[in-house]
Structure 1
Amino acid sequence: MLITVKTLTYYLSEHPSIINFQWSYDQSWASTWSFLFTSVTLYLTLSIFLHLLLALLLRRGRPVSLGPIPAIHSLSMTVISATIFAGILLSASAEIRESRWFWRRNKTTPFRWLLCFPMGTRPSGRVFFWSYVFYLSRFVHMWRTFFTILRQRKLVFFQLFYNSVLTFMSFLWLEFSQSFQVLAILFTTLVYAVVYGYRFWTGIGLPGACFPLVVNCQMVLLGCNLVCHVGVLRFHFMKGGGCNGIGAWLFNSVLNAAILLPFLKFYVKMVLEKRKNIGFIENQNQDAKFTKKIKEK
């Protein structure tokens, strides 16, 4: 067991390719602004084109069977998310352990480092390697949009917007060595591992939860991100030189707000409708009991 743990630790945080990673145009694939804009534009174009093509070729509302492909995708995303979570957790622990002596001189704590990178931080080393892997995983995540279009025959604007925004944000984390990204990746990959694991579970025909697990997990994720953003702002204006990549963080905050507001509106609407349905069912049950008593009399 110890050998297995040591082996995993080595390949997730101590491998030379992880320790010596550098985010740069010539060393990192998909690291240019042109690639980012081209890929996101292509994603949006293909999604719209596929939706319109199906509308022309197939009867409205008729789904396209994909077999086990969505379940395989969910399983793949579960494994990828769990790997990134474990990798960045071990990498962050290693960075904290190795940098503790330096932080004491600068009055920096591990918690502050997780929220607020020191000024001058460069996108290299362990945590940025896993940030890069997370950025690449966003393109794998996009495939779910095409599954939704094919199976449900719906083009969901929020899904397009959400995937595009998260891809941009993960690119900014690397490009500007943005603060807060370690916790953001930890929270996101943990939630994704649960959500995609649940989707795989239901995708192979096993029973689902009795409550909206996916929506609740996403709500928890957005709430955690909101709290952490407040923490970044607090540390930035404290004595200590500010947080690295604060400009990108501000833009990131605007994008997060653009995601949070419509999702919060949807979540509140869903909860109210659920309560309304529960109240309607309870009233029906009470009416049925009352009618039964009258008949018995």
Structure 2
Amino acid sequence: MMMMMMMMIQRPSMLLEKGVYWASEHPAIVGFRWSHSATWASTWSFLITSISLYIASALVLHLTLTLFRRRRPVPLGPIPAIHSLAMALLSALIFLGLLLSSAAEIRDTRWFWRRRTTPLQWLLCFPLGTRPTGRVFFWSYLFYLSRFLHLLRTFFAILRRRDLTFFRLFNQSILLCMSFLWLEFSQSFQVVAILCTTFLYCVVYGYRFWIGIGLRSACFAFVVNCQIVVLGCNLVCHIGVLLLHFNKGGCNGIGAWVFNSVFNAAILLFILDFYVKVHFKKRDLKEI
């Protein structure tokens, strides 16, 4: 009886150790290296071609349905719900993997940090000369690849006969480009950005799966509110990166960070504009 109890106690700890190993200590993760010659989808030509094909395909599909005057949504069955579930699980995997890998990197490299450097400062501001290798960048690479799966939502929206907006194409293209730049320039702040984004995707895609299988939806703009909260947190973190850059001798990949900041601000303005329009539209309808 005691042996059985000991085995039951040890089994969860063994599973936890295996999970930590596969998430942060596996040789493929520890030895990861972002390279144009050895890493798939790592070249500028691939990025530009992918974005161009995405925009062209979306426009062609939209124009085709418009020319054939198909007003009814194309039945997609359970495909959108399955996609949402897959994205929620993948985002949860990246979140946990990156969290454990960040803890392992802090543990292994803290001995040569400069004085007064804290884990939070490392998360926001990589030291100058940081190369895109190791645990953190493995999960950043997986996040970059997952962005291609996010593009499918545009085609789902077109087939459902929803408006193909400039913001949708702009948002998806820029997010794909930014995740590429994180790896290409070893950009500071990407760890926090990926953790926040994947946590958001867990919640949002879990919610989309929930309503995709026919369960009740929220009585407010759930997805938009989640996006505003995360973008607001990112804005605060961007200010922290800027302060650390000038006070700590520089952060790695600051040029890519400037690009990231500008387009994050643009996306936040787009979402706030949409939120305000929806809010006032609902208020006007109530007054009528």
TM class by shorter chain equals over 0.9
Match of 2:74 among 38, 42, 64: 64
CA contact (8 A) 1:51 1:153 kept: no
Partner in structure 2 of residue 271 of structure 1: 279
Which structure 1 residue ranges, 5 or more long, are not aligned? 282-297
Displacement, 1:254? 1.3
Code of the residue aligned with 1:52 in structure 2: it is: L
What is the SS of the residue equivalent to 1:50? helix
Match of 1:192 among 198, 201, 224: 201
1:132-184 alpha-carbon deviations (Å, 9 max, x no partner): 00000000000000000001342122111100000000000000000000000
- Give the TM-score normalised by structure 1: 0.90
CA distance in 2 between partners of 1:49 and 1:256 (Å): 28
Say yes or no: does 1:168 pair with 2:181. no
Say yes or no: does 1:28 pair with 2:36. no
Displacement, 1:266? 1.1
CA distance in 2 between partners of 1:99 and 1:276 (Å): 57
1:245-292 alpha-carbon deviations (Å, 9 max, x no partner): 0011111111112211121111122233344445x38xxxxxxxxxxx
Matches within 5 A, 1:35-184: 35-59=46-70, 61-103=71-113, 105-184=114-193
Which structure 2 residue ranges, 5 or more long, are not aligned? 1-11
CA distance in 1 between partners of 2:280 and 2:115 (Å): 50
CA distance in 2 between partners of 1:5 and 1:201 (Å): 29
CA distance in 1 between partners of 2:25 and 2:215 (Å): 38
Partner in structure 1 of residue 228 of structure 2: 219
CA contact (8 A) 2:140 2:194 kept: yes
What is the SS of the residue equivalent to 2:42? coil
Displacement, 1:186? 0.2
CA contact (8 A) 2:224 2:271 kept: no
CA distance in 2 between partners of 1:210 and 1:243 (Å): 43
Partner in structure 2 of residue 286 of structure 1: none
Partner in structure 1 of residue 5 of structure 2: none
Code of the residue aligned with 1:66 in structure 2: it is: L
Match of 1:17 among 28, 32, 39: 28
- Give the TM-score normalised by structure 2: 0.93
Greater shift, 256-265 or 212-221, is seen at 256-265
RMSD: 1.3
What is the SS of the residue equivalent to 2:160? helix
CA distance in 1 between partners of 2:254 and 2:281 (Å): 40
Code of the residue aligned with 2:124 in structure 1: it is: L
Partner in structure 2 of residue 259 of structure 1: 267
Q: Between the two proteins, what is the percent identity of the paired residues?
A: 66
CA distance in 2 between partners of 1:181 and 1:205 (Å): 36
CA distance in 2 between partners of 1:70 and 1:156 (Å): 19
